Amino acid sequence: MGKLEDIVSLCKRRGFIFPGSDIYGGMAGTWDFGPLGVMLKRNIMQSWWHFWVDQRDDMYGVDAAILMNPRTWIASGHVDTFNDPLVECKACHGRFRADKLVDGATESITTEEFLKANVKCPTCGKTDWGEVKKFNMMFTTHVGPVADDGSIAYLRPETAQGIFTNYKNVVDTIYPDIPFGIAQQGKAFRNEISPRDFILRDRECTQMEIEYFVKPDQWEEAFEQMRALQHVFLEEQMGLPVDKIHDYEVPAEDRAHYSKRTIDMMFDYPNGEEELMGLAYRTDFDLGNIQRESGKSMEYRDKNTGETFVPHVIEPSIGLERLFLAIVSSAYWQDGDRVVLRLPENLAPYKFCVSPLLKNKPELVEKAQEVYKLLKDKYTFVTWDDSGNIGKRYKKQDEIGTPKCVVVDFDTLEDDSVTVRDRDTTEQERVKISEL
């Protein structure tokens, strides 16, 4: 695993991730994905969708609007409770998350507890603090031409509510048997007090969430199944090392307002252990609230038994950026000058790179172009590289995680075989073009 600064540098150098609005000096907590980053990000998102939706018979997708009726966020409790504890240094006016400055503190830290810890301001070193205040993390905007209280809208802080508000639409159009899940991938926005650690804590992130609807008395079984499957996904599909993922049972006082049980899956990131994803038992909290706020029944009628009930919900929720960082930091391998991104093949932006041994030999370039087109037709994610010498090309492809480099040389013209070099072992073998 690399150090965080090495990963940030590689991501920028090779076109994976750039600071958001870099040209104007940046915008804290925002990041732009470059050409390679988009490819890796899409592979992650597609693998997630394939694993959780396409391959199953009990999952359905939605893609809801980001702007939602503000009643959504009143009903969900976010207007009242989606708060972080904010504290301001009176000397330098720096603002911080109070719980992050005190060892072992939770989000419900009080002013007394904070002051008792006698922490120094990380910016100016003084201990002249204001009160710990609740800071609502939702971004507000106004819809329409008049900016007043009646036109307030929020940028969604979780994709989950776009699922809950479509639960009835899905039930009334698809008639799914319970248990069933609704999945969504999309942007979520949080006005984080202190965005940090590269893409780990952002103000704009991409969530991949499932709300899995179950009979109320079957939540425990569904929770355990979902928990086991999350590990299969993270370890087998995303290639994360088993020993770097730790399940953390979140105590009641630290759980989100909607949850009766939460397991955070923590990951050993370069800067220490942090939450990668959460698995929550949201009970019927959300459907119950929607039922009250909208006056419409959220009851599900079991076709087999005729029973009616408001389903309970198990929610696995993962941030794309946190998963991206976990994947890249565990794939990062360095030995002296040699840096290799040992990405799993299913995630690597390019599967092959094709080159002519020498760029100034037209016969080699022509043959290499032929091989390139053949592989591109077959595998799509194939890149061409004839820059610099062969050593430099290997270095670049290693850094962007291309598993195989295919080189066309003079022997190719004789026997239709090419050199295939393996990214991880650097071993080279001769392979017939027809067998690629």
Query: CB of residue 100 vs ligand GAP: minimum separation in angstroms?
Result: 13
156 binds ligand GAP (CB under 6 A): no
Candidate ranges 166-174, 221-229, 316-324, 370-378; the one touching ligand GAP (CB under 6 A): 316-324
75 binds ligand GAP (CB under 6 A): no
Q: Tell me the number of residues near ligand GAP by CB under 6 A.
A: 18
**Among all residues, whose Cβ is closest to ligand GAP?**
319
Calculate the alpha carbon distances from 174 to 166, 178, 436 in Å: 12, 12, 43
Task: Kindly tell me which of 262 and 355 has the beta carbon lying closer to ligand GAP.
Answer: 262
Task: Kindly tell me which of 322 and 421 has the beta carbon lying closer to ligand GAP.
Answer: 322
41 binds ligand GAP (CB under 6 A): no
Task: Kindly tell me which of 167 and 352 has the beta carbon lying closer to ligand GAP.
Answer: 167
Structure tokens at 338: 């040699």
Binding to ligand GAP (CB under 6 A) within 213-272 occurs at none
**From the CB of residue 217, how many other CB atoms can be counted at a distance below 10 Å?**
9
Q: Which of 323, 295, 299 is nearest to 309 (CA)?
A: 299
192 binds ligand GAP (CB under 6 A): yes
Query: CB of residue 79 vs ligand GAP: minimum separation in angstroms?
Result: 15
Q: Give DSSP secondary structure letters for 83-134.
A: EEEEEEBTTT--EEEHHHHSTT--TT--HHHHHHTTPPPTTT----B---EE
CB 115 within 8 A of CB 144: no
Q: How many CA atoms lie within 13 A of 428 on its CB side?
A: 9
Sole binder of ligand GAP in the list 88, 99, 158, 286 (CB under 6 A): 158
Sole binder of ligand GAP in the list 59, 132, 160, 341 (CB under 6 A): 160
Sole binder of ligand GAP in the list 72, 207, 230, 289 (CB under 6 A): 207
277 binds ligand GAP (CB under 6 A): yes
Q: Which residues contact 175 (CB under 8 A, 6 or more apart)?
A: 303
Q: Is 154 helix (H, G, I), strand (E, B) or coil?
A: strand
Report the DSSP beta bridge partners of residue 134: 85
In a 10 Å sphere around its CB, with 0-12 CB exposed, 13-18 middle and 19+ buried, how is residue 238 labelled?
A: buried
Query: CB of residue 95 vs ligand GAP: minimum separation in angstroms?
Result: 16
Calculate the alpha carbon distances from 33 to 19, 20, 309 in Å: 9, 9, 44
Task: Kindly tell me which of 255 and 351 has the beta carbon lying closer to ligand GAP.
Answer: 255
End-to-end CA distance of the chain: 31
CB 89 within 8 A of CB 129: yes
Long-range contacts of 112-120 (CB under 8 A, 24+ apart): 114/85, 114/87
83 binds ligand GAP (CB under 6 A): no
Task: Kindly tell me which of 84 and 409 has the beta carbon lying closer to ligand GAP.
Answer: 84
Binding to ligand GAP (CB under 6 A) within 351-410 occurs at none
Task: Kindly tell me which of 209 and 385 has the beta carbon lying closer to ligand GAP.
Answer: 209
Query: CB of residue 17 vs ligand GAP: minimum separation in angstroms?
Result: 13
- Applying CB under 6 A, which residues contact ligand GAP? 158, 160, 190, 192, 201-202, 205, 207, 209, 275, 277-278, 315, 317-319, 321-322
